[in-house]
Amino acid sequence: MVEILSVATGRQGLFEFTAQLAELVTRSGVEEGLCSLLVQHTSASLTIQENADPSAKDDLENWMNRLVPEGDALYTHVYEGADDMPAHIKSALTSSSLSIPVLNGKLCLGVWQGVYCWEHRHEGRRRNIAVHINQ
């Protein structure tokens, strides 16, 4: 089963979509298999992170913005805005795809793990994530 999941991002930052993904897994009827995801954009990424304490998410976002600052004089790809090239670098440093085992019809995530789309642009968008669930 392959579906495109749409995740709305309101701004730069981490947006959890674990519940939407879990629903797809349930609908697939797969009891044991693999859930593969691909974000179909070059300025957003995917990650599995803590979903219990929001300060972990805030720290990740702040750390990444410090690591890849806007306005670096080395950037030449700047015609789409000051956040565009940093967004591409952040995406390259993180991950455009994930694989999560499916066990007993559920995502095999840890207790405090959530699946996130990481928006690297300032302006929010709808991000498409291709999801493939197989046995």
Q: Which CATH number goes with the domain that contains 15? A: 2.60.120.460
User: pLDDT category, 15, cuts 50, 70, 90?
Assistant: very high
Average pLDDT estimate for 24-38: 98
Give tens-digit pLDDT for 120-132. Answer: 999 989 999 999 9
pLDDT given for residue 124 in this prediction: 83
First-to-last alpha carbon distance for the chain, in angstroms, is 10
Q: Does pLDDT of 135 surpass 90?
A: yes
The structural domain count of the chain equals: 1
pLDDT for position 111? 95
Tell me how many degrees the CA angle 106-127-38 measures, rounded to the nearest 5.
Answer: 50
Whole-number average pLDDT of the chain: 97
| Structural domain for 74, as ranges | 2-134
